[in-house]
């Protein structure tokens, strides 16, 4: 019987494996103890019979102990960069548990009485958070100038200084998880659990990965150099990674902490300054989180002007500040996370100043379940987490569950029973008032679109098993809630299979074969990420190789992001990568440098090639012989070319 065909009780297997391991370890320890005792007795006998060996052994042990002591003492006294700097940040009233803020009605980021003001409120409760003046073109110039002045010194900062900032940030985040979650939830409407997993954990992973691996990534890269027979003996080559200057990130609202901190971490670590443009939907939390970073910089003895926060209202006939920002000639690089319509404007503006842009535009990620997949109950949990986390407002969230025909009905019944027997609870858990599964959406401006997509699918044969419409919460009537939705029997020709949902709608599609599953997955005009599940790894790998996406997780969901791999998509999901090694290097000028390895040998212009050319015939014979000798494919050919080279040298 093959492993793929075996059906075992997982608890029994784990228990049996645990017992086996314990027995093996116990037996091994006994053998090692017996061996140690016998070896020790041999050593004692030898030492007693040889006094000189006793003196030598004692001296060596003393030297070794002294070395270890001074090594530890030296490291502890000279490794100041590895010690976090402590700092504190004032806690806003709205971040307090059981905060009672007035509720807006109607809710809007625009204040009718102050058209140039951004009005912040909690999407889950409608509670008012504050007003912020929309920035102007003058503000943009001043921010970029301040960042540029600070970066002139920071560009030559040591790796120890950069690491100190990241370590201090990591320490603060670890010690203030509740505060960070409260701020993120209050401004985005998500649950604390979603904030913990999607905001805090991934940010700490990025910090720790950069701390452990970043210096290696930015170390000058030695290259093979020329293959030219004459040059390869004395020419060396390498690539040095230098800061660009002032970079920018224009980030979306769905992860107000992580989307903001991620670009800042990479920018500072690569020696750049950064101006982050946050969404007008999350100005309140972005101000707090940026202030947190600036306070960390001050605590580490660095210039807080290295990090700037910019925000403004969307472009209008009276205000073009947003376009002015993305077209600014002093920005050396832009990372954009957002939607396709906005991306067109960003790219058009950046083209005016030839600013390079990395564009991440969301996706239509497929979650493929093959015939060989086992334990559909477990997979149903992954599906629900990947679909409903942050109310579906996740660029690599599960947009389409594509299931093999043999597993389709079973999985649909599992999902149906879970969602109907135990309906997901909507609400706000910031103040610990209730148990909540799914939070609010950041805005209600897309509710008509979501309902329209569901109705269109049903009209073309899909089955709506639950949800499908907006929800008026009895405790938070101003909150933006959409019912968790289960929509099955969806086909590729339906709008909901082609358009990004970015909401709490679980779409299930049937695939007749593995090739059909691949075809369905690749049918949407996006290509960000995807997942494939099955017990036949060869088949899973086959599918992964044929998915037209930027990332794929095999028997897992979205962990390529946690693994700090380069992140980005193709087709309608954008282009370029951020994250991981490629993300750091993308914020650097890759400067190519060649140099002489041997101090007494250097490149000189041979006489036949020196201006003015004395003899075109000899010059041609010389350079032809030089090229032939440099790249000759046989020894005899090279010998002849060397002879000809000497003959034409004068």
Catalytic residues: 360
The residue written with tokens 């003046």 in the block is 133
Residue 549, SS3 per DSSP? coil
- Name every residue whose Cβ is closer than 8 Å to that of residue 565 and which is 6 or more positions away in sequence: 551, 579, 580
Q: Which residue has the tokens 């548990």?
A: 97
Rounded-to-integer distance, Cα 291 and Cα 276, Å: 12
Q: CA–CA separation, 250 vs 337, rounded Å? A: 6
Distances (CA, A) of 76 to 43, 64, 73, 79, 210: 35, 18, 5, 6, 22
- In whole angstroms, give the CA distance from residue 249 to residue 243: 16
Phi, psi (degrees; rounded to nearest 5) at 15: -65, -45
Alpha-carbon separation of residue 584 from 265, 547, 562, 564 (angstroms): 10, 26, 16, 11
Strand pairing partners for 241? 590
Residue 598: phi and psi, rounded to 5, are -100, 120
CA distances from 546 to 316, 366, 400, 504 (A): 43, 13, 17, 28
The tokens describing 230, both together, are 């004459």
- 222: its two tokens: 């030695």
Q: Is the dihedral of CA 6, 8, 14, 15 positive or negative?
A: negative
Tokens 């793929």, located at residue: 4
Chain centre distance of CA 187: 22
| C-alpha dihedral sign at 169, 173, 176, 179 | positive
Nearest of 125, 100, 249, 264 to residue 188 by alpha carbon: 125
Contacts for 123 with CB less than 8 Å, ≥ 6 apart: 107, 188, 189, 440, 441, 442, 443, 479, 480
Torsion of CA 62, 65, 68, 71, to 10 degrees: -50
Q: Answer whether 189's CB lies under 8 Å from 480's CB.
A: yes
Q: How many CB atoms lie within 10 A of CB 493?
A: 10
Sole residue written with tokens 């784990």 = 14
For every residue of 59-99, DSSP letters joined together read HHHHHHHHHHHHHHHHHHHH-GGGSPPP---PPPGGGSTT-
Q: How far apart are CA 453 and CA 522, in angstroms?
A: 20
The first and second tokens of residue 159, run together, are 């790796």
As a whole number of angstroms, the distance between CA 49 and CA 41 comes to 12
Rounded CA-CA distance 317/323 in Å is 12
Determine contact, residues 220/241, Cβ cutoff 8 Å. Answer: yes
CA distance 360 to 346: 12
β-bridge partners, 247: 274
Pairing of the two strands 235-243 and 588-596: antiparallel
Looking at residue 314, the DSSP 8-state letter turns out to be P
Q: Give the gyration radius of the chain's Cα atoms.
A: 31
C-alpha separations of 627 from 182, 197, 230 in Å: 68, 60, 10
């Amino acid at each position: 019987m093959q492993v793929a065909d075996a059906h075992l009780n997982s608890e029994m297997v784990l228990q049996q494996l645990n017992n086996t391991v314990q027995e093996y370890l116990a037996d091994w320890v006994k053998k090692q103890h017996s061996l140690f005792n016998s070896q020790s007795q041999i050593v004692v006998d030898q030492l007693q019979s040889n006094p000189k060996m006793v003196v030598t052994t004692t001296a060596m042990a003393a030297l070794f102990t002294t070395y270890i002591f001074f090594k530890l003492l030296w490291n502890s006294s000279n490794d100041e960069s590895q010690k976090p700097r402590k700092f504190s940040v004032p806690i806003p009233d709205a971040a307090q548990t059981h905060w009672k803020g007035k509720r807006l009605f109607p809710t809007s980021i625009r204040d009718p009485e102050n058209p140039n003001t951004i009005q912040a409120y909690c999407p889950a409760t409608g509670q008012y958070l504050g007003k912020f003046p929309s920035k102007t073109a003058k503000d943009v110039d001043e921010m970029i100038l301040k960042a540029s002045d600070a970066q002139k010194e920071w560009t030559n900062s040591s790796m120890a200084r950069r690491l100190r900032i990241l370590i201090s940030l990591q320490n603060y985040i670890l010690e203030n998880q509740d505060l960070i979650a409260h701020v993120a939830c209050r401004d985005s409407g998500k649950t604390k659990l979603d904030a913990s997993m999607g905001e805090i954990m991934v940010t700490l992973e990025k910090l720790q990965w950069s701390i452990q691996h970043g210096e290696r990534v930015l170390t000058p890269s030695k290259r093979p150099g020329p293959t030219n027979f004459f040059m390869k003996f004395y020419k060396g080559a390498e690539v040095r990674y230098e800061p660009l200057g002032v970079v920018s990130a224009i980030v979306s609202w769905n992860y107000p902490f992580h989307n903001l901190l991620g670009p800042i971490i990479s920018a500072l670590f690569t020696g750049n300054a950064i101006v982050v443009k946050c969404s007008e939907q999350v100005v309140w939390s972005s101000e707090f989180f940026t202030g947190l970073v600036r306070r960390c910089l001050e605590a580490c003895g660095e210039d807080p002007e290295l990090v700037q926060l910019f925000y403004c209202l969307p472009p209008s006939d009276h205000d073009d500040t947003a376009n002015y920002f993305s077209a600014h000639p002093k920005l050396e690089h832009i990372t954009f996370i957002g939607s396709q319509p906005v991306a067109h404007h960003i790219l058009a503006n950046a083209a005016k100043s030839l600013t390079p842009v990395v564009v991440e535009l969301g996706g239509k990620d497929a979650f493929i379940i093959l015939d060989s997949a086992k334990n559909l109950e477990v997979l149903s949990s992954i599906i629900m987490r990947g679909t409903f986390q942050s109310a579906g407002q996740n660029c690599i969230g599960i947009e389409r569950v594509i299931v093999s025909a043999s597993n389709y009905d079973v999985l649909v019944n599992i999902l149906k029973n879970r969602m109907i027997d135990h309906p997901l609870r909507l609400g706000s858990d910031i103040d610990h008032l209730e148990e909540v599964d799914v939070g609010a959406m950041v805005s209600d401006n897309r509710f008509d679109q979501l309902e329209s997509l569901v109705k269109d699918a049903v009209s073309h044969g899909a089955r709506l098993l639950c949800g499908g419409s907006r929800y008026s919460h009895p405790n938070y009537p101003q909150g933006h809630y959409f019912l968790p939705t289960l929509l099955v029997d969806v086909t590729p020709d339906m709008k909901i299979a082609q358009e990004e949902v970015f909401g709490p709608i679980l779409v299930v599609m049937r695939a007749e074969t593995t090739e059909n599953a691949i075809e369905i997955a690749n049918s949407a005009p996006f290509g960000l990420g995807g997942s494939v599940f099955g017990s036949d790894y060869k088949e899973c790998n086959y599918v992964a190789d044929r998915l037209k996406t930027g990332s794929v997780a095999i028997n897992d969901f979205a962990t390529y992001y946690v693994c700090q791999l380069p992140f980005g998509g193709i087709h309608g999901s954008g282009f370029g990568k951020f994250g991981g090694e490629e993300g750091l290097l993308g914020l650097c000028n890759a400067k190519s440098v060649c140099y002489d390895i041997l101090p007494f040998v250097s490149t000189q212009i041979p006489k036949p090639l020196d201006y003015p050319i004395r003899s075109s015939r000899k010059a041609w014979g010389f350079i032809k012989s030089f090229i032939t000798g440099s790249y000759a494919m046989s020894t005899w050919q090279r010998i002849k070319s060397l002879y000809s080279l000497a003959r034409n040298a004068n």
